[in-house]
């Protein structure tokens, strides 16, 4: 048997490892491309009406029961979609613990907190508090990931965006922040939960699990978690049957804002990272105002346009593309040095 040259073995091993390392280095894009921005905009449109639907639902349905119905309908819709595509869920038994934790962080806990919170505070104030999610996301990603570290540019961008949201909703809502402290604290806690979930969801791409499977799994787990909780706490059979408007609102939340929305959301996390994906929470309030102006005849106040401008500046600062283009142009058009002997 011919002996193996150990140096040759080391070289072959290194060559076999290099392609995989190069692939891992490009899993997360610090700057979003056109496809990422398209998904982000679509998510903003889908989730822009979510606070309106929640407000309609919790007027007639108890908050925990509303969450259970929303997750159950969404899970059923995802299972039908998976069967229609002829695919299998593809979730090994070893990942279900991670799926359950994701369902708690991304569905059960924040849905319940925002649902209960909106029975005590205005939907606009809830959307402002929800816009703190990217701020939490920058901090959480810094401590729990290796490739999404905080930078002064990202922090400044998120704060600019939050300032834009606050400007649009107006100081009138912010002046009431002390009247329902527990409800507001619940919404802030829900925003932190979303940020933790965004970072936790990154692990499923490394395990080769598709966003479709993750979405179906987490919604199913969330529905099973909320079933006994809602039955014990709310006792829904003791309340009147909800009207058609509440059922329609919950169905829209389940199928459009939850099932379809999360498929896009996890895909965005997989390509551009948790911090960039969480930018959608900054776009939700302005999109809701714009949709109201376009389809409901609502007028936009001057502070709405100021807020939109601040959000655009914040998104540009976080993405860094505009700053990169400015710096590149400055390098390109930098004047050539002149010397005393040259004329």
Q: What CA–CA distances, in Å, run from 288 to 44, 46, 49, 50, 246?
A: 9, 10, 6, 9, 19
Using CA atoms, how far residue 141 sits from 95, 165, 200, 273, 285, in Å, is 21, 22, 10, 9, 24
How many Å apart are CA 99 and CA 102, to the nearest integer? 5
Are 263 and 216 a contacting pair, CB within 8 Å? no
Spans of all domains in the chain: 50-320
Please report the pLDDT score of residue 26 as a whole number: 41
Q: Output the pLDDT for position 6.
A: 43
> Quick one: pLDDT band at residue 254, thresholds 50, 70, 90?
very high
What pTM did the predictor assign?
A: 0.72
Distance, in Å, from the CA atom of 65 to the CA atom of 309, rounded to the nearest integer, reads 39
Q: How far, in Å, CA of 221 to CA of 215, rounded?
A: 10
Structure-model confidence comparison of residues 269 and 28, the more confident one = 269
d(CA 29, CA 294): 34
Tell me how far apart the alpha carbons of residues 59 and 61 are, in angstroms, rounded to a whole number.
6
Task: Taking residues 34-43, report their average pLDDT.
Answer: 84
SS3 (DSSP) at 55: helix
Q: Cα separation of 39 and 261, whole Å?
A: 10
Nearest Cα to 321, choosing from 36, 12, 106? Answer: 36
> If pLDDT is split at 50, 70 and 90, which confidence band does 276 have?
confident
Neighbours of 295 (CB within 10 A): 8
pLDDT class of 7 with cuts at 50, 70, 90:
very low
Task: Region of 170 please: left (phi>0), alpha (psi -120 to 50) or beta.
Answer: left
**341: helix, strand or coil:** coil
Inter-CA distances, 75 with 69, 113, 139, 214, 260, Å: 10, 20, 31, 11, 11
pLDDT of residue 291: 59
Residue 322: per-residue pLDDT:
58
Percent residues over pLDDT 70 in the chain: 74
Rounded CA separation 48/51 (Å): 7
Q: Name the more confident of 329 and 193.
A: 193
pLDDT digits (tens, 9 = 90+) for 100-112: 999 999 999 999 9
Q: How many Å separate Cα 101 from the centre of its chain?
A: 16
- How high is the pLDDT of residue 86? 84
Residue-level pLDDT at 31: 65
pLDDT 10s digits, 122-166: 777 777 778 778 778 877 887 887 777 778 888 888 888 788 777
How is residue 57 written in tokens?
Answer: 């639902």
Contact yes or no for 277/265 (Cβ under 8 A): yes
Query: What one-character-per-residue DSSP string does 168-193 give?
Result: HH-HHHHTTTTTTHHHHHHHHHHHHH
Q: How confident is the model at residue 263 (pLDDT cuts 50, 70, 90)?
A: confident
Residue percentage of the chain with pLDDT more than 90: 20
Q: Annotate 95-154 with DSSP letters as a single string.
A: GHHHHHHHHIIIIIHHHHHHHHHTTTS-HHHHHHHHTTHHHHHHHHHHHH-SS----HHH
**Residue whose entry in the numeric block shows the structure tokens 């290796």:** 146
As given in the structure block, the two tokens for residue 54 are 């929640």
Q: Which residues have a Cβ under 8 Å from the Cβ of 281 and sit 6 or more positions away?
A: 130, 131, 132, 133, 134, 191, 194
Q: How far apart are CA 134 and CA 275, in angstroms?
A: 6
Reported confidence tier of residue 278, pLDDT bands at 50, 70, 90: low
**Mean of pLDDT values over 19-34:** 52
């Amino acid at each position: 048997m011919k002996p193996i040259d150990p140096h040759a073995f080391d070289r072959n091993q290194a060559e076999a490892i290099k392609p995989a390392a190069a692939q891992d280095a490009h899993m997360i894009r610090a700057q979003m491309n056109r496809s990422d921005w398209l998904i982000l905009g679509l998510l903003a449109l889908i989730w822009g009406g979510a606070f309106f639907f929640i407000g309609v639902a919790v007027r007639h349905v108890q908050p925990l029961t509303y969450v259970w119905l929303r997750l159950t309908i969404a899970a059923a819709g995802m299972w039908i979609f998976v069967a229609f595509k002829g695919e299998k869920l593809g979730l090994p038994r070893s990942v279900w613990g991670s799926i359950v934790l994701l369902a708690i962080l991304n569905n059960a806990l924040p849905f319940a907190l925002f649902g209960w919170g909106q029975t005590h505070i205005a939907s606009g104030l809830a959307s402002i508090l929800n816009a703190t999610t990217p701020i939490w996301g920058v901090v959480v990603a810094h401590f729990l990931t290796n490739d999404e570290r905080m930078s002064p540019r990202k922090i400044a961008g998120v704060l600019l965006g939050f300032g834009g949201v606050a400007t649009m909703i107006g100081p009138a809502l912010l002046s009431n922040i002390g009247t329902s402290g527990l409800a507001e604290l619940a919404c802030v806690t829900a925003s932190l939960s979303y940020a933790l979930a965004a970072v936790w969801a990154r692990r499923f791409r490394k395990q080769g699990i598709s966003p479709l499977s993750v979405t179906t799994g987490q919604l199913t787990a969330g529905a099973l978690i909320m079933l006994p909780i809602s039955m014990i706490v709310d006792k829904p059979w003791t309340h009147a049957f909800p009207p058609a408007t509440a059922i329609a609102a919950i169905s829209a939340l389940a199928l459009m804002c939850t099932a379809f929305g999360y498929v896009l959301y996890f895909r965005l996390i997989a390509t551009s990272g948790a911090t960039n994906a969480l930018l959608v929470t900054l776009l939700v309030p302005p999109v809701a105002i714009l949709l109201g102006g376009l389809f409901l005849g609502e007028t936009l106040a001057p502070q709405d346009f100021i807020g939109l401008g601040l959000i655009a500046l914040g998104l540009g600062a976080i993405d860094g593309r505009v700053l990169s283009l400015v710096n590149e142009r400055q390098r390109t058009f930098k004047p050539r040095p002149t010397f005393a002997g040259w004329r």
